[in-house]
Amino acid sequence: MSFKRETPLDLQLHRAAIKGDKGMIFKVLNTGRVHVDCRDKDGTTPLMFSVARGHFECVQELLEQGADPNARRFETGASSLFLAAQIGDLDTVRLLIRNGAVVDQPNLDGGTPLFVACQEGHEPVVRELIAVGANTNFPMKDRATPLFVASQNGHCLIVRLLLQRRAMIDYKRTDGATPLWIAAQMGWADVSSCLLENGAYVDSLRNDGASPLFKAAHKGFLDVVRVLLRKKPNLGILPIGESALHGAVMFGHLDVAKVLIKAGSNPTLPNQEGETPYELALKWKFPNVADYLKNVTVAHSNNSHALSNGGTNTLKKLENTTNAPKG
């Protein structure tokens, strides 16, 4: 995008806006030789500079002098309202809206002021934007919504606010991840619980076939695993080719493996490569996990009464690998 080179007066106005020098802003603008919305090379206006640094009185002055609250930066498309929401400046958010700022004006990635307020956890700003009609389901270009980013960053109160305003609970990002999926991956047990209480689908899969339970188990987030297990998720082999138990074992999360088995995970179930959890524990050199799985596998097989051929083969495998080098 082409733009005129900054003049000395433009630079003087920009510096005054950055420093919060209201008197200098007034003085420079009253020369009549500089535009109130003069831009730097990135398309940043004096109003944006003052907003981003929280200079409320300068923002007032610039708006009174006719600054455009809906001007956007060239590189990012961020507006003054986006910048105010990003830093959680509620007074400036209200002032900009009173002066005609477009509430749902997105940046170039599709992020709205509400989205960035949810991302940063600025609950008062979120409340204000929702109150003036912000779209709680406005998606980014990658289809991430305000609910998604609030869930990703563990802002449970904001998640509840958005759900009260009919945010779409299972709306998927382009990779298939839902708010519950991302909350589980990030280890937010409280957010996961809130989403499930409000009807989130516990077995929603990302495009690669991984479930929320698989990711929580894989990451070792025991509290999240316990929350998810309340909703009876799939404990079998997922389209990704592994079970949640396999996910826990391959990273040595013994506490998670114990909880999963107690909940009904089959310790003898092979993954798509034909490997049991026990064999994975040996492969990835987690001897404490392997010892535990060996014991529960034997107990599981013994509880099968007359032992099926599968159970017999599992026991033979265990006997053959008992003295094998672990690794």
Domain boundary assignment for the chain: 235-327
| Burial of residue 157 (number of CB atoms within 10 Å: 0-12, 13-18, 19+) | middle
Looking at 1.10.287.610, 1.25.40.20, 1.10.8.60, 3.30.70.920, the CATH number of the domain 235-327 comes to 1.25.40.20
**pTM here?**
0.90
Question: How distant, in Å, are the alpha carbons of 131, 196, 203, 211, 302 from that of 191?
Answer: 23, 9, 16, 16, 40
Per-residue pLDDT of the chain (327 residues; tens, 9 = 90+): 445 678 999 999 999 999 999 999 999 999 999 999 999 999 999 999 999 999 999 999 999 999 999 999 999 999 999 999 999 999 999 999 999 999 999 999 999 999 999 999 999 999 999 999 999 999 999 999 999 999 999 999 999 999 999 999 999 999 999 999 999 999 999 999 999 999 999 999 999 999 999 999 999 999 999 999 999 999 999 999 999 999 999 999 999 999 999 999 999 999 999 999 999 999 999 999 999 999 998 777 666 544 444 444 544 444 444 333 333
Measured CA to CA, the distance from residue 112 to residue 40 in angstroms comes to 23
Measured CA to CA, the distance from residue 84 to residue 129 in angstroms comes to 12
